[in-house]
């Protein structure tokens, strides 16, 4: 799940990426255009409510490609993304519009 929240005080958008722990039993990171696809930049942290989540600040009015990467090396997309697109490697990325 992705939740977008406008942060008017800082003229940006907060994007929260949330996954159920049952869906991802091992650690997961969100990688995308917003963090230069760095697997260490935005790990999803385990929450008491049975989820993992990470929040990043994004520029409004932009499209961002992203994917999730599990610690075991498995890439996967976000089913609730605004859209999906094929990348230069022939794989599918999730896309959000802020």
User: Does residue 8 register a pLDDT over 90?
Assistant: no
pLDDT at 27 (0 to 100): 93
The predicted model gives 63-83 an average pLDDT of 95
- Show the tokens assigned to 46: 């385990």
User: Cα angle vertex 22, ends 16, 26, to 5°?
Assistant: 80
pLDDT at 25 (0 to 100): 80
Separation of alpha carbons 55 and 41, rounded Å: 11
Compute the mean pLDDT over every residue in the chain, rounded to the nearest whole number. 94
The CATH architecture of the domain made up of 2-97 is: Sandwich (2.60)
């Amino acid at each position: 799940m992705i939740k977008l929240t406008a942060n008017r005080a800082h003229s940006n958008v907060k994007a929260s990426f949330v996954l159920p722990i049952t869906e991802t039993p091992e650690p997961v990171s969100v990688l995308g255009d917003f963090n230069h696809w760095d697997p260490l930049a935005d790990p999803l942290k385990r929450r008491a409510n049975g989820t993992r989540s990470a929040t990043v600040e994004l520029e409004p009015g932009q499209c961002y490609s992203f994917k999730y990467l599990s610690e075991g090396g498995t890439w996967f997309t976000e089913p609730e993304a605004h859209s999906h697109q094929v990348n230069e490697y022939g794989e599918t990325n999730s896309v959000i519009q802020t």
